[in-house]
Amino acid sequence: MGSNFQFVNPEFFWLFLLLPLLILWYVWQRNNQTAAFHISSISGFKTSKNWLAKLRPVLFILRLLALSAFIVAMARPRTVDENTRTKTTSGIDIIMSMDLSASMLARDLKPNRLEALKTTVAQFIKGRPNDRIGLVEYAGESYTRTPLTTDKELLLKSLKEMEYNTVIEGGTAIGSGLATAVNRLKDSEAKSKVIILLTDGVNNTGVIDPKIATELALEFDIKVYTIGIGTNGMAMSPIALRPDGSFQYGNVQVEIDEQLMKDIAKKTGGKYFRATDNQKLEKIYEEINKLETTEIEEFKYTHYNELFRPWLLLGLGFIALEFLLKSTVFRGFI
């Protein structure tokens, strides 16, 4: 909502140029109508000061003020209040299914893959205020962390709390992660249903084959964008647990089943991306954000508050006061 002040017909302000001419005309006329009588001395005359005579220009000033008020009124001052309401005409439901296996703690992205992903996904969520978004996490098994919602604060809080843990079984069950996401979208009535499936490994566990999960997505008309995260070659990754529970890191060969991820994306009408560093990961989500646009219908309501009436009344008031003074106080001097 915005409010501003404006004049509809500002060209009438040019009339203010007449005021100096009127003042000059008044002075000239007054000088010409005043008779002068010259004598050598007024010592023999009794003089008195008439203050009413000296106040006669007040009538002309009132007339100038009235004219000024009328000019402002003709310029039509007003305030404009605009209210905008948006309506989503083609909403998108998006489930982000994210790999939370131990390898997501690898440090080839800064500070590690998981934290880099959370930062990027948070920006993606903030950039889609009109869509429903949900979060699925998986490792050796999968579960829904946040169902589809438009509550972005809830999503961001849930995303911030995501971290590697040993509660769910270890491994990388890509099929399960995809199937859980499909299950969350299958009953959606949105015109566009999208899954963003991210992993940094190969499918090595789970009870659902990724190909079956892909067929399910296809059956429910769900588009899947797949992302492989991890640098090419070696990466500092967790290789063992120390006695204190912390990870011991070592160089590990990065393995991503890119062919599987490409197949999933191709069959469902999506696209495969590879994020080898933080910048590429950010650009991937920016590209998906552009590919999946939401149609927005905007309604704008404008309220005009006309302010010329007070100026018109003010001008009439000055004229009325001039007429009153001319008919009473200054009657004998005009």
pLDDT, tens digit, 9 for 90 and up, residues 187-204: 998 889 999 999 999 999
Instruction: Check: CB of residue 256 under 8 Å from CB of residue 200.
Output: yes
Q: Which helix (H) or strand (E) holds 226?
A: strand 223-229
Residue 1: band (very low, low, confident or very high) from pLDDT cuts 50, 70, 90: very low
- DSSP H helix total and E strand total for the chain: 10, 11
Main-chain dihedrals φ then ψ at residue 288, nearest 5 degrees = -65, -40
- For 98-130, the pLDDT digits (tens) are 999 999 999 999 999 999 999 999 999 999 988
Quickly tell me which residue has 């990870």 as its tokens. 247
Q: Is residue 208 part of a domain?
A: yes
In the prediction, which pLDDT does 162 show? Answer: 94
The whole-angstrom separation of Cα 314 and Cα 319 is: 9
Provide the domain count of the chain: 2
* Residue 162 and residue 70 in one domain: no
Quote the domain boundaries for residue 315: 2-31+51-81+302-333
Q: If you compute the radius of gyration of the chain from its CA atoms, what whole number of angstroms results?
A: 40
Which of 82-86, 246-250, 271-275 is predicted most confidently?
A: 271-275
CATH number at residue 128: 3.40.50.410
Domain identity same for 99 and 171: yes
Specify the pTM.
0.63
What average pLDDT does the structure give for the chain?
87
Question: pLDDT (tens digit, 9 = 90+) per residue, 158-187?
Answer: 999 999 887 667 789 999 999 999 999 999
